Amino acid sequence: MAAATDDAGDSNEMIRVVSSDGEHFEMPEAAANLSLVLRHMIEDDCADAAGIPLAVVAAKPLAKIVDYCTKHAAKSSGLTIEEAEELKRFDAEFIEVDTDMLYDLLVAADFMGVEGLSKLAVQRTADLIKGKTPEQNRETFGIVNDFTPEEEEEICKENEWAFQITKPPSRLC
């Protein structure tokens, strides 16, 4: 993470952040500025040696977010086409994570206000939802079906067409 300091442009100060489980991370100020929350903290002079505590973000997703921000901050201005493509590739690889991590990233990015990462994770989640039946979605995301049978029947009935299965014909939903 510290390696990117030189690329980070006008700012070379390192910002320390602390995850919910007490792990410390460092990133260049330019990277931290990608997070709305961190930027406001820095502007308000709350970024001290002890680090900014992020009570909702655990170490694992925070490491990924620091990674993401550092990469993007280093490449933020004057992108050539190659660099833009490389960044795209980085994003594509970056978001290839399991649903638990995806969930952590969604919540953390939303909490920290990292817009680019939020969009990336949201898009990825939407892609995972697409083309699946409700049951498949529950399996994918480990969601418990908390409808009562009556509720479920009513919901399925309301938009019966969406649950049609073309081949092979079987139960609705």
Partner 1 sequence: MEPPSPAAATTFRHRRPQPDPDRAYSTRPAAEPCLGLADSAAWACRAGMPLAPRPAPRHGARWLPWRGGRWRTVSPSGAGWRARASSGLRTALVKVVTSCAADVCARLVFDGMPDRDLLSWGVMLDWVSEEGLGIINSDGMPCARYIQGCNFARIQADDPVHLPRGVQSAPIFRIVSKLLSCSINLLKEFRKDEGDQPLLMEPVAANVPELPQDVLMEIFDHLEIPDLVRAGSVCNSWHSAYNEMRSLGIYRLSQTPCLLYTSESAGDSVVCFYSLVEKREYKIALPEPPIRSRHLIGSSLGWLVTADDLSEMHLVKPIFNESGDLRSGPVVTLKTTIGIVPDVDSDKMYIVQAPCGGLLHHFNARRVFNGMPDRDLVAWGVMLDG
Question: Which residues of the shown chain bind partner 1 in the complex (CB under 8 A)?
Answer: 20-21, 56, 58, 100, 103-104, 106-107, 110-111, 118, 122-123, 125-127, 129-134, 137-138, 141-147, 152, 155-156, 159, 161-164, 166, 173
Q: Please, which residue, 10 or 146, has the CB nearer to partner 1?
A: 146
Query: Cβ 93 to partner 1, closest distance in Å?
Result: 20
Q: What is the DSSP letter of 161?
A: G
Q: Report the alpha-carbon distance of residue 103 to residue 158 in Å, rounded.
A: 29
Q: Report the alpha-carbon distance of residue 141 to residue 157 in Å, rounded.
A: 24
Query: Cβ 159 to partner 1, closest distance in Å?
Result: 5
- Tell me, what amino acid is at 27? M
Give the CA distances from residue 142 to residues 127, 138, 161, in Å, rounded to whole numbers and listed in that order: 16, 5, 25
Q: Please, which residue, 12 or 123, has the CB nearer to partner 1?
A: 123
Query: Cβ 26 to partner 1, closest distance in Å?
Result: 23
Query: Cβ 116 to partner 1, closest distance in Å?
Result: 14
Q: Please, which residue, 6 or 147, has the CB nearer to partner 1?
A: 147
Q: Which residues, listed in sequence order, are joined to residue 35 by a DSSP beta bridge?
A: 114
Q: Which residue has the tokens 């479920």?
A: 152
Tally of CA atoms within 13 A in the half-sphere of 58 that contains its CB: 10
Q: Assess contact for 18 and 1: CB atoms under 8 A.
A: no
Q: What is the DSSP letter of 82?
A: H
Query: Cβ 152 to partner 1, closest distance in Å?
Result: 7
Q: Please, which residue, 80 or 166, has the CB nearer to partner 1?
A: 166
Q: Please, which residue, 24 or 132, has the CB nearer to partner 1?
A: 132
